[in-house]
A and B are shown apart, each in its own frame.
Chain A
């Protein structure tokens, strides 16, 4: 059984824009981070689908999404430590409350 490539691309596009919507709308830092995870996963599905359907001879997209997962894990760990630090100083994690660099 093999579905056309477009099925996977449509799912990943929808997921990507769900992530973009969340990134714009949410005000909570942790929710924004979750939206970023959705976006990264959509990119990863794309890499895998391209590898599987267009260039099955090498494992290029496979390795790319492996490294995407590694980078996402590292990024999330550092971001959460920053969020906890911000919470210690501000007592909340709204993006509205972090505006020292704005002016």
Chain B
């Protein structure tokens, strides 16, 4: 199951960055996010998978598709990838990938905790625990970031409205 999910994530990830039709890229992005939600489910984090699906797949991808439709003649127009740029980008990505993978696979930096116990704990996560963690003010509890996120969302709503509104004075000029 993990192999299928990983392969689909990577395949659609490559499709997202290489496909020249932008609407196709957005659809591939949707499948990548879907596969990542599957990974969360596989790690027994059902709540996070639900959040991933509803916020990313339901919200952000729809936002992308709306933006693509609002921006005219983007859906059909093909974007050419310049050769020099793609060679340089591929070089940067592959060299970074080589360094990171060597560190992850060769050096045993991460000492995994007791896996059986980790499985048991992950299987026993319930909504009460998640809610306590999100709403508490003690150590390992996250009320302050939660409130900061609400302020951030408010600021984002106002900012989005202000930036996207049509400026009448400039249009007259």
Contact = CB atoms under 8 A, between A and B. Distances in A.
Contacts of B145: 63, 67
A34 B163 contact: no
Interface size class on chain A is 35 or more
Given A34-B29, A41-B36, A73-B55, A15 B10 contact: yes
A31 B18 CA distance: 10
Interface in A54-87: 54-60, 62-63, 65-67, 69-74, 76-78, 80-85, 87
Contacts of A9: 104, 110
Interface residues of B, number: 81
B97 A69 contact: no
Given A20-B96, A59-B130, A35 B17 contact: yes
B6 A45 contact: no
A41 B32 contact: yes
Interface in A14-30: 14-22, 24-28, 30
B45 A80 contact: no
Given A10-B105, A17-B97, A83-B71, A77 B160 contact: yes
Contacts of B117: 56
Contacts of B92: 20-21, 24
A33 B92 CA distance: 19
A39 B96 CA distance: 14
B67 A59 contact: no
Nearest to B80: A27
A101 B90 CA distance: 28
Given A25-B90, A33-B64, 20 more contacts: A14-B13, A15-B9, A17-B97, A25-B81, A25-B86, A30-B67, A31-B22, A34-B26, A37-B29, A37-B60, A38-B13, A44-B36, A45-B39, A48-B43, A56-B122, A59-B125, A70-B55, A74-B152, A76-B64, A87-B70
